[in-house]
Amino acid sequence: VQEERLEGVMKYLEFCLKQVVANNELGGIMELLNGEFLMPAPGGDPIRNPDVLPTGRNMHALDPSAIPTQAAVEVAEDVTRKLLEKLMDENGGQYPESIAFTLWGTDNIKTYGESLAQVLALVGVRPVADSLGRVNKVELIPLEELGRPRIDVVVSCSGVFRDLFINQMNLMDRGIKMAAEADEPLDMNFVRKHAIQQAEELGVSIREASARVFSNSAGSYSANVGLAIENGGWEDETQLQDQFLTRKGFAFNADKPGMMEQQADLFKSALKTVDVTFQNLDSSEISITDVSHYYDSDPTKVVQGLRDDKKKPMSLMADTTTANAQVRTLSETVRLDARTKLLNPKFYEGMLSTGYEGVREIQKRLRNTMGWSATAGEVDNFVFEDANDTFINDPEMQQRLLDTNPNAFRDMVTTFLEAN
């Protein structure tokens, strides 16, 4: 590559490096204590937006009414195209009829609404911004322009998303209801197809049956599946599935704004048509075994239990941490995460070098891996076998763990027994 072509790239990398090493935390605090004006700055992922650096400024998130941005919509269209192409390759050219989504509050802040835009794109709905850039309405994309069927969705929103983006939940609900009420062939509109079936099954109107946006009740957060697994307070997977359905089965209704009504039967009816469960990984800072949140809201085995044929839905994850987004199966993502962290000598030796807390980090990652096995059944046996050989069957390693953090070591043994 000619040096002239690299000049712009190198200048940008130099700018990013200067932003990373700049540190004005103490300076910013002193400015505030002196009653001076502190410059505002956006928050978010520094890889996606280097302008969040340097730190030490008055950080803000975003204007909730401005998402999804046009850039987020374009990225979402690319991800949904790759998602549908992968699913069609796996299913003999057939489109999925329904996809279960999980939406996170902080992730949508970082990406300016990418996963929200993915939901709208699958349904075939276009967000429309006003002259000030506020997204306050949606419109149906004609089937001729869409070029494929409208895919049904079942959206599980985190409690933080519900709190921050109630207007966006309104947009999703209105868009899905528009699709359900559109006079279109059922083989080209799976939203309407399923809404008609559920209306007959539950004895309600099509509009009521088309509720697809769910979350916790007001003031409640999480399915607490992760908490049960972390504490060992569960007997079998059915208990975890019932807990998910009970806590996440509150529907948002644009016709009754501000209310989250418990609609457990409608939630179950919508989930039992799901062919695919889907989540996004959009930050290099957190992976799927760093925290319990991702598997806490995963409905894979819940859907399997509700489906009439008891078939487990396909589980996929989109990695949008780079410009070239990748759509992988959940099992591939878990394998990749295990190889790069839990089973990687550079990782666990680095953790062990930090002492007590490092052993707890290893134990936490093992526990979260087991959580994916409990909620989705997508963890290969070799992950547990190799982890057992590394941390338990090796007498020297076993003694190091025991001497450094006996409590975490005991929890590791318990996790292996539960996984078995």
In terms of average pLDDT, the best of 54-68, 93-107, 251-265 is 93-107
Q: Is the pLDDT of residue 234 over 80?
A: no
Q: Return d(Cα 404, Cα 389) in angstroms, integer.
A: 19
Q: Is the pLDDT of residue 233 over 80?
A: no
Looking at residue 12, what is its pLDDT? 84
With the C-alpha atoms ordered 97, 216, 297, 417, is the resulting torsion angle positive or negative?
Answer: negative
Lowest mean pLDDT among 47-51, 217-221, 334-338, 405-409: 47-51
Beta-carbon contacts of 89 under 8 Å, excluding residues fewer than 6 positions away, are none
For the stretch 372-397, pLDDT in tens is 998 999 999 999 999 999 999 999 99
Q: Return d(Cα 15, Cα 43) in angstroms, integer.
A: 18
Determine whether 180 is exposed, middle or buried from the number of CB atoms within 10 Å of its CB (0-12, 13-18, 19+): buried
Mean pLDDT (whole number) for 90-98: 94
Q: Is the pLDDT of residue 366 over 90?
A: yes
Check: CB of residue 98 under 8 Å from CB of residue 274. Answer: yes
Beta-carbon contacts of 74 under 8 Å, excluding residues fewer than 6 positions away, are none
The length of the chain is: 420
Report CA-CA distances (Å) from 157 to 42, 166, 247, 360.
Answer: 24, 10, 12, 30
Q: Are strands 40-42 and 213-215 parallel, antiparallel or unpaired?
A: unpaired
> pLDDT-based confidence at 194, cuts 50/70/90?
very high
Determine whether 202 is exposed, middle or buried from the number of CB atoms within 10 Å of its CB (0-12, 13-18, 19+): middle
Q: 3-state class of 299 per DSSP?
A: coil
pTM score of the predicted model: 0.86
Q: Which amino acid is at 236?
A: D
The whole-chain average pLDDT of the chain stands at 91
Q: Return d(Cα 273, Cα 187) in angstroms, integer.
A: 15
Mean pLDDT (whole number) for 217-245: 85
Q: Which amino acid is at 127?
A: P
- How remote is the C-alpha of 241 from its chain's centroid? 18
Q: Return d(Cα 111, Cα 215) in angstroms, integer.
A: 21
Check: CB of residue 117 under 8 Å from CB of residue 282. Answer: no
What whole-number percentage of the chain has pLDDT above 70?
100
Q: Is the pLDDT of residue 100 over 90?
A: yes
Q: Return d(Cα 371, Cα 225) in angstroms, integer.
A: 9
> pLDDT-based confidence at 83, cuts 50/70/90?
very high
The better pLDDT of the pair 99, 231 is held by: 99
Q: Return d(Cα 379, Cα 369) in angstroms, integer.
A: 7
Check: CB of residue 124 under 8 Å from CB of residue 140. Answer: yes
Q: Return d(Cα 184, Cα 180) in angstroms, integer.
A: 9
Q: Are strands 326-329 and 314-319 parallel, antiparallel or unpaired?
A: antiparallel
Please name the residue that has the structure tokens 């399923």: 194
Q: Is the pLDDT of residue 46 over 80?
A: no
Looking at residue 338, what is its pLDDT? 93
- Name the nearest CA neighbour of 157 among 169, 148, 146, 149: 169
Q: Is the pLDDT of residue 407 over 80?
A: yes
> pLDDT-based confidence at 251, cuts 50/70/90?
very high
Looking at residue 120, what is its pLDDT? 96
Q: Return d(Cα 114, Cα 107) in angstroms, integer.
A: 9
Report whether the peptide linkage leading into residue 345 is cis, meaning its omega lies within 30 degrees of zero: no
Looking at residue 266, what is its pLDDT? 94
For the stretch 16-30, pLDDT in tens is 888 888 878 888 999
Q: Is the pLDDT of residue 287 over 90?
A: no
Q: Return d(Cα 47, Cα 19) in angstroms, integer.
A: 11
Looking at residue 17, what is its pLDDT? 84
